[in-house]
Amino acid sequence: MSIERKNTDRDPLVADTYRALANERTPDHLNEKVLRMAASESRTRYSVARSWTRPLAWAATIGLSLAIVLELTRLPETEPDVVPVMTPAARKPASTAIEGADGTATDDFAPKDMAVLREVEKRARAQAGPDEGPAIPRADVDEASPQSAPTPRVVAEAEPLHEDTAVHEALASREEASVRKAAAESAAGQSAARGNALVDTASADATAAAAISIAADEKKREAESACPAKMRESAETWMTCISDLREDGRDDLADSEFEEFQRIFPNFVESKAHK
Amino acid sequence: MAANAESLARPAVALCRRAALPYAPAMGHIPDDSALMLRYKDGDMAAFETLYRRHNDPLYRYLLRLCRHRDTAEDIFQDVWSKIVKARGSYRPTAKFTTFLYRVARNCFIDHLRRNKRHANTAEFDAELHSHPGEQPEMSTERSLAKERLSRALMTLPEEQRDAFLLHEEAGLSVDQIASVTGSNRETAKSRLRYAMQKLRAAIDEQAERL
């Protein structure tokens, strides 16, 4: 049935007649045109283009991949440069001060503190000198009247501090460290004893900060006005410096320098010229 | 059951049909059209020439009878091959190459119709095409009469039926492939082809009765 229907689709008589009718062939000029066009297209668009597009694509892919890999490997190196302030090394002074107040481990900070405290003591003595009488040796003061020497904290409060950025930074870093520590400890739910220790820590931290600020102030003053270390190497140059200070009208400073000079060179005979 | 028998019988019928159509493009030969097209895609110009020689004449006749105007047919013919050449980069052998080729040809023809609305039913090529120099006068008369009748019947066919008939006879396409090329369903393509055959057969029979 289906084969019969298929055969009805193809009529041999019609097909033969049509075959006899349709025997045209494509003109030669048309064949040439088409073949020439196909050949030129094949040469220009694919064979030539493909010869450089594929290597170029590979090179671009490899280049981009390398660039991405290099960029990714550089990223971890740049991060520490951005965050040096937050490294533990930068926080070390604050943390050591806090730990020192707790009495755990303060060896790296204690000598500096002691030196600063001595300096503060000396300055306080020098300031109090005119009211209390002539200056006496330091050892004598320590032995005779220990109460007369003010504590560093008192001196720090009494003496007006210079508005120095370095001092501010030191104080800010220490306060920040203590606040961070307090926050961390309170978040962790520490005990009340630990809270007391924290209070002590804060007060010791403030004292140390004040001492550091005074030391910085002293250094600054020294650098600005007093005789430099080079001048102090010999008695003559030191005296010349002192006389220069007197000539400049900075008598207070000249006096203190002279006191120091007498302490170092007790046997030096002052010439009239220097006087 | 009948459907199964039909599906089993279809390849055999297709093979018979192709064997009986020596002017149809050689199908199933090695290398086949898709392989040639893929080789041309890789720059093998000889493959394209083989492919072109296989399909140029049937395509030309198809366009000639579809357009009924030689110059137009030649223009469309060039346009079709130009599109085939340009499409080689994206060519995928998912369908039969002949189906692809005739679909492009048909689309080019439709585009031409749209561009030139004044495309009239002017069959200017009849006398010129049907002359066969060197034939005996009697033979020439009989043949020319038969051809003339068939040609006239072909020209009077509705465009869809003529298209189906030409695709069947020139390209050797099956009903399914005709449906694919023309964008219609199988039954529509089949009925168009059958009507075309009946009308052409009637034209030839009418001539025989007169003789």
Range of the domain at B149: 18-210
- Name which of A8, A26, A36 to mutate to probe chain B: the one with the most chain B Cβ atoms within 10 A of its Cβ: A26
Q: Where are the domains of chain A?
A: 14-82, 89-224, 225-275
Question: Who has greater pLDDT, A61 or A235?
Answer: A61
* Per-residue pLDDT tens over the stretch A164-179: 555 556 556 666 666 5
Residues of B in contact with A50 (CB under 8 A): 43
Q: A28 in contact with B at a CB cutoff of 8 Å?
A: no
Name the residue with tokens 């994206």: B90
Q: What's the confidence (pLDDT) of residue B151?
A: 84
Average pLDDT in chain A: 66
Put simply, the answer to whether B197 touches A24 (Cβ < 8 Å) is no
Cβ(B160)–Cβ(B82) below 8 Å = no
Q: Most A CBs within 10 Å: which of B197, B198, B207, as the mutation test of the A interface?
A: B197
From the list A24, A37, A46, the residue facing B61 with the nearest CB is A24
Per the model's pLDDT, the better-predicted residue between B87 and A121 turns out to be B87
Contacts of A260 (CB under 8 A, 6+ apart): none
Task: Compute the average pLDDT of residues A197-205.
Answer: 57
What DSSP assignment string belongs to A115-144?
Answer: HHHHHHHHHHHHHHHHHH-S---HHHHHHH
Q: Which phi and psi (to 5°) does residue B32 adopt?
A: -80, 175
Is A8 within 8 Å of chain B by CB? Answer: yes
- Give the separation between CA A57 and CA A61, rounded to whole angstroms: 6
Give me the residue from B129, B170, B194 closest to A8, CB to CB. Answer: B194
Split into its structural domains, chain B has a count of 1
Identify the segments of chain B with pLDDT beneath 70. 1-30, 117-143, 207-211
Q: What is the pLDDT of residue B175?
A: 92
Q: Is B140 contained in some domain? A: yes
Residue A221 pLDDT level (bands cut at 50, 70, 90)? low
The answer to whether position B13 is within a domain reads: no
pLDDT, position B191: 92
Find the range with the poorest average confidence among A65-79, A135-149, A180-194, B160-174.
A135-149
Q: What is the DSSP string of B117-155?
A: TT-----TTHHHHH--TT--HHHHHHHHHHHHHHHHHHH
Least confident of A130-134, A203-207, B121-125: A130-134
Q: Are A120 and A211 in contact (CB under 8 A)?
A: yes
For residue A270, give the H/E element and its range.
none
Between B71 and A126, residue with greater pLDDT: B71
Compare A105 and B61 and report the one with higher pLDDT. B61
Positive or negative, the CA dihedral A227, A231, A232, A234 is: negative
CA distance A239 to A264: 12
Whether the Cβ atoms of residue A204 and residue A101 lie closer than 8 Å to each other:
yes
With 50 as the cut, is the pLDDT of residue A132 above it?
no
Tell me what pLDDT residue A53 has.
Answer: 82
Please compute the mean of the pLDDT values over residues A29-42 and round it to a whole number: 89
Q: ipTM strictly over 0.85?
A: no
**Rounded Cα distance, A271 and B12, in Å:** 138
Residue B175: inside a domain: yes
pTM for the model = 0.46
| pLDDT higher at B9 or A118 | A118
